[in-house]
Every structure is written in C-alpha cells, then in structure tokens.
Amino acid sequence: PNFETLFSGRARAIQSSAIREILKVTERPDIISFAGGLPAPETFPVKETLAAMERVLTGCGREALQYSTTEGFAPLREWIAARNSTPEAPVHPDQVLMVSGSQQGLDLLAKVLIDPGDTVLVETPTYLGALQAFSLFEPKYVSIPSDGDGLMPETMNGSLRGAKFLYCLPNFQNPTGRLLAEERRYRLAEKARELDLLILEDDPYGELSYAGDTPRTIRSLAPERTVYMGSFSKILAPGIRLGYVIAPTALRAKLVQAKQATDLHTSTLAQMAAYEVVKDGFLNGHIPTIRKLYSDQCQAMLGALSRHMPEGVRWNSPKGGMFLWAELPKGMDAGALLAKAVENNVAFVPGMPFFAANPSIEALRLAFVTVPPPRIE
Ligand code: PMP
C-alpha cells in the first residue's frame, strides 16, 4: 500500500526535524555530547533495583507478573500521595494515576483535553516533548512571554480566557534550566482563578535543586485547577518508565479511561519494584548525591564557558536540574553552528524547536550531567 495515503492527517502532520538527523551522529562515542537529555547513569540504583526485583519476585512473583489495575499499584500511589501532600493541599491516593513515564501523562492529557483548534498556552520556550505530544491533537499555541525567572503572569490578560490549559514547567525547566520565581507562582495561581484556567504543572526536575528547597508547587497554591506530573526518571532511572499524574477527581477518571485504551496499565513489576526501592527512605540519601553531582557538573560547565566562550555569548546559571541555556551573538544561527560543532565532535541542541512560535535562532541548550568535567573543559 501507499503509506502516505494511509496515514491519518494527524500522522502526516508530524515532521521529522533536520536537527534530529544531525543529532543521530551524537551517539558516536567520539562525540562530546551536550545534546541528549539523559540523567547520569552512575546515579542509577542498580544494586537496589536488583535487590528489590528479587524481593518482589520471591515474595509475590505471580502478582507482579499479572495484569493489574489501570490506576496503578495502590501502595505506590499512597506513597506518592503522602510525599506530595501539603497542609493546604493534601493529595488523596485516588487522585494519583500511575503512568509509563510522565511523557505518557502529557499524551493522555492531550487526548482528553484538546480538540483541533483549541488554544493551549505554553512558556517561551517550552519542553519539546510536550509540543510533540500536544501537536498530534492539533491545538493552536499561544506563547506566554517569559524571562530568566520563568513565565510572566502579569502578561496574561482576559484574551486568554477560554484556553484549554496552560502547560508550565516551574522547576529547572527543560530546555532552559530556569526556575519560576516564587512570587510569580502566587500570581500565576491568582491569574488562573481569574481567567478560569486549568494548569498542567510538569515537574520532573523539582527534586534536583543544588542548594535548598524549591519554592511551593503551583498545585499546592491552586489544587482545584492544577494537574501535577511527577516522574521517577530523574530520581531513580528513566528506563523503568514510571511517572504519575495527580489530577482533580473528575479529570483523573477520564485519564484512566484514556489510559485503558492506550496500554491497560503501567508495568506491574516496575511499579512494585520501584515501591520496594523507595518505601523505606532510600531517596533521602540518594537525592542529595544526585544534587551534589549535578551541581558539580554545572560548575564545571559554567567554568569552561567563562574560560572559553568568545565575547557576545551569554548563558544562565541554573540553580538545579540538568540543562543550561546559552545565546549566541545576535543573528548567529545555532543550527548552522551545530553542523560545524559536530564536524569537531561536539554536539548540543539548537533552541529553535523548543519554541511554539517566533523561535530564537541564537539559543541553544547544553545538557551537562553525562560528560565528565575534563571533557566538558
Ligand atoms: N517532562 C519534561 C519537562 C521532561 O524533560 C521529560 C524528559 N525529558 C519528560 C516530561 C518525560 O519524562 P519521563 O517520561 O521519563 O517521565
């Protein structure tokens, strides 16, 4: 058959990007890659996961290998509810839906919320993977002006009323590494009430602050209108594909139906093993080691940039997470620079695809946690 005519309009609209083609070469071992958004593998709890798998399979192997509920493994949902509860905004385990990576949360939310032509509000720039998930359902994007402190709630006016939701990344955002300033979180919660807006809060990096706690979540400030997404990818390991959505009850019920159609449920074995790893406080010791490593990696990157970048290149200084954002001198194209960099065995991601509209050609993302400091230098 002619697949081009078989594909749905939605599938035909997916574009393979030129950048993806260039970045294919970044898997070569001789390339120093700041491109991939991978966590540092030395932080993966291999030993603990092996022991947990052993305990799960020995203790309740048949249950672990059986189909289970779409909502997810109850003890893990209870653990997540307790961990995310605040005095002002408690989480009930029935609000938690386990998903196969928070990326699936984005897909399910898009499925149940977006009709073609609906308005979706995003940051400038925003997470490319969310744009990919949302775009299949053909929304119209409106980019909210943002600066080094994140999106600017004061720019949000009555014209945004009727938008389906605002997608926001308050903590160490992918791609910029920036943090949404605390007072903006309060103003955003107020704005959302004023404009009757649903907020999707995507927070895979919130635990990766280099020093001190991150400010309050948007969910804790506006629980009735926020859907919160968390992930085990950056605090345990991405290969177990485990994330979760905390949603108001009516929305959560719809997400459960959508997930049933997608994959019935998230891996029972993965959920039980992850619960076995985290249930007795493992993360209390583990997360600080990730924070320390990433902070040191970030310092190495900042030091190397200040020693080697020519005049006119600017970059931020993230307070957590895995990324920093740089800007080349006005008019210099980061995509063209990538081609040259790859010839010299270095890769990064140009900033363009992270913008829903009016991309900055000068911007680029540097991921710094998987390259040893001497190679960064
Ligand atoms: N949201 C953001 C902002 C991300 O950076 C990522 C991972 N790159 C995801 C969601 C998806 O993470 P996962 O599916 O591994 O939980």
Neighbours of 32 (CB within 10 A): 16
What is the chain's mean pLDDT, rounded?
A: 96
Q: Residue 14: pLDDT above 90?
A: no
For residue 261, count CB atoms less than 10 angstroms from its CB and return exposed for 0-12, middle for 13-18, buried for 19 or more.
Answer: exposed
Q: What is the DSSP letter of 212?
A: S
Tens digit of pLDDT for each residue in 217-238? 999 999 999 999 999 999 999 9
Reported as a pLDDT band with limits 50, 70 and 90, residue 16 is confident
Q: Whose CA is nearest to atom 5 of ligand 1?
A: 174
Using a 6 Å cutoff on CB, does residue 201 contact ligand 1? Answer: no
Q: Average pLDDT of 22-26?
A: 75
Q: Average pLDDT of 57-82?
A: 98
Using a 6 Å cutoff on CB, does residue 129 contact ligand 1? Answer: yes
pLDDT of residue 13: 83
Using a 6 Å cutoff on CB, does residue 170 contact ligand 1? Answer: no
Tens digit of pLDDT for each residue in 264-298? 999 999 999 999 999 999 999 999 999 999 999 99
322 alpha carbon – ligand 1 mean position (Å):
12
Q: Are 274 and 232 in contact (CB under 8 A)?
A: yes
pLDDT of residue 366: 97
Q: What tokens does 236 get?
A: 């345990």
233 alpha carbon – ligand 1 mean position (Å):
8
- How open is the CA angle 336-340-341, to the nearest 5 degrees? 110
Q: Are 218 and 189 in contact (CB under 8 A)?
A: yes
231 alpha carbon – ligand 1 mean position (Å):
7
Q: Residue 18: pLDDT above 90?
A: no
For residue 200, count CB atoms less than 10 angstroms from its CB and return exposed for 0-12, middle for 13-18, buried for 19 or more.
Answer: buried
Using a 6 Å cutoff on CB, does residue 125 contact ligand 1? Answer: no
Q: Residue 25: pLDDT above 80?
A: no
Q: 174 versus 14: which is more confidently predicted?
A: 174
Using a 6 Å cutoff on CB, does residue 127 contact ligand 1? Answer: yes
Bridge partners for 97 per DSSP: 245
101 alpha carbon – ligand 1 mean position (Å):
7
This prediction has a pTM of 0.97
Q: What is the Cα–Cα distance from 292 to 303, expressed in whole angstroms?
A: 16
Q: What tokens does 135 get?
A: 């775009």
Q: What is the Cα–Cα distance from 156 to 346, expressed in whole angstroms?
A: 39
Which of ligand 1's atoms lies nearest the C-alpha of 37?
A: 8
Best probe residue, ligand 1, of 44, 172, 200, 202 (max atoms within 8 Å of C-beta): 202
Best probe residue, ligand 1, of 97, 233, 246 (max atoms within 8 Å of C-beta): 233
Rg, the chain, Cα only: 21
Q: What percent of the chain has pLDDT over 90?
A: 92
Neighbours of 190 (CB within 10 A): 13
Using a 6 Å cutoff on CB, does residue 231 contact ligand 1? Answer: yes
Neighbours of 284 (CB within 10 A): 9
pLDDT of residue 36: 87
Q: What tokens does 265 get?
A: 């449920």
Q: Residue 65: pLDDT above 70?
A: yes
Neighbours of 10 (CB within 10 A): 12
Alpha helix (H) residue ranges in 85-178: 102-113, 128-135
Which of ligand 1's atoms lies nearest the C-alpha of 106?
A: 10
**Residue type for position 140:** K
